[in-house]
Amino acid sequence: MTGSSKGDHWFRLQGPFFSAVLLTSIVVAGTIGYMLIEGWDAWDAFYMTVITITTVGYREVHDLSRAGQAFTVVIIVSGVGAALYSFTLLAAVVVEGGLPKRFQRRRAARMLETIKDHFIICGYGRIGSLIASQFRRQNVPYVVVERDPARQQLAIDEGGLAVEADASHEDVLRRVGIERARGLIAAVSTDAENVYAVLTARVLRPDLFIIGRSEDDAATQKLKHAGADRVISPYHIGAVQMAQTALRPAVVDFIALATSSESVELALEEIAVAPESTLAGRSLVDANLRQRFSVIVIGIQRQDGRMEFNPEPETSIRSGDKLVVLGRPDSLKRLETEAS
């Protein structure tokens, strides 16, 4: 701890206590002084001291002698100064000493109790912060679990909900609402921590969609065995992206436009077909999605995970399928409503 931080810490701890002792001492001294000098009773002496220190402007309790007037001057100079110091210190403690942070913690606690359909992001390093940024752009709720207090505060400052904790602990995942979560992303900097986080989450929620970050092939297998539905290697993805950009730049630009959250003209989206949807049980040609919604069905993911690319018009849409469609954002919203 530096000398400056030690001084600030001493001020926060000793300042309020010192100001309270100082102000109390002046009130006691003033009360005793008026009793001895003017011969007043204790209440009149105390009352006179208080109205003098607070400068409320009331008249004197009794007429003062010359000695009493001199004593009053001393009380005014010392008492008013002490009172101003105490009130200023109190304001500083309220503003800087944690009251806003306390309100912030209470608000965060209430949000953690009510948040649902959110993603839990384990780790707020380079990968975790970029994931959170994408979620914010698309108004997707999320909670960050980060052990580093500086990174946890950064996540809060950037507009997210974050807790300082270890994501491999069951009580922590329960605290961030894993029972109500939409998915979990293990993006901690080490493979071992990601494996533990994935394993813990899978035990608590067997049906939860979990994504794990890996650094090498061995970690990829461990994450899959731990229960991750998808395992992503940033280095592998980056290398593939660079190779594709070199070979097929126009294709890469098209995919980037379609998947970018900032695109207002075109979007690539997956839309789940609910059992009660009017689309369930109909073929693509009967559903007439192209004409009704101006969208292109690129693929259909069946409930067993099998993907059918560029499906034929006679392909049936089943309950629980996920339609991978390309279209304008407003058209996709209307189709999502139809499918729900």
Which tens digits make up the pLDDT trace of 266-302?
A: 788 889 999 899 899 899 999 888 888 888 898 999 9
Architecture of domain 101-238: 3-Layer(aba) Sandwich (3.40)
Confidence of residue 100 (pLDDT cuts 50, 70, 90): low
Q: Where is pLDDT greater, at 130 or 63? A: 130
CA nearest 29: which of 59, 72, 64? 72
Query: Quick check: 155 and 142 in contact, CB under 8 A?
Result: no
Q: How many CB atoms lie within 10 A of CB 160?
A: 20
Q: In the prediction, which pLDDT does 76 show?
A: 86
| For residue 5, pLDDT beyond 70 | no
Sequence letter at residue 173: L
| For residue 64, pLDDT beyond 60 | yes
Round the average pLDDT of the chain to a whole number and report it.
85
Q: In the prediction, which pLDDT does 327 show?
A: 87
Long-range contacts of 86-95 (CB under 8 A, 24+ apart): 86/19, 86/20, 86/22, 86/23, 89/15, 89/16, 89/19, 90/16, 90/19, 93/12, 93/15, 93/16
Q: What is the mean pLDDT of residues 135-161?
A: 92
Separation between Cα atoms, residue 200 and residue 188, nearest integer Å: 14
| For residue 4, pLDDT beyond 80 | no
Sequence letter at residue 180: R
Of the candidate ranges 91-100, 133-142, 212-221, 224-233, the one whose mean pLDDT is the lowest: 91-100
Confidence of residue 3 (pLDDT cuts 50, 70, 90): very low
Per cent of the chain over pLDDT 90 is 39
* N- to C-terminal Cα separation, the chain: 57
Domains 101-238 and 249-339 belong to one CATH topology: no
Q: What is the mean pLDDT of residues 111-129?
A: 93
| For residue 43, pLDDT beyond 60 | yes
Query: Quick check: 329 and 264 in contact, CB under 8 A?
Result: yes
Q: Which fold has domain 3-96?
A: Helix Hairpins (1.10.287)
Query: Quick check: 316 and 281 in contact, CB under 8 A?
Result: yes
Q: In the prediction, which pLDDT does 177 show?
A: 94
| Helix/strand/coil for 151 | helix
The domains of the chain are located at: 3-96, 101-238, 249-339
Q: Which fold has domain 249-339?
A: Alpha-Beta Plaits (3.30.70)
Residue 62 buriedness (CB in 10 A; 0-12 / 13-18 / 19+): middle
| For residue 241, pLDDT beyond 50 | yes
Within 13 Å, how many C-alpha atoms sit on residue 291's CB side?
6
Residue 308 buriedness (CB in 10 A; 0-12 / 13-18 / 19+): middle
Q: What is the mean pLDDT of residues 193-219?
A: 93
DSSP 32-71: HHHHHHH---HHHHHHHHHHHHHT--PPPSSPPPHHHHHH
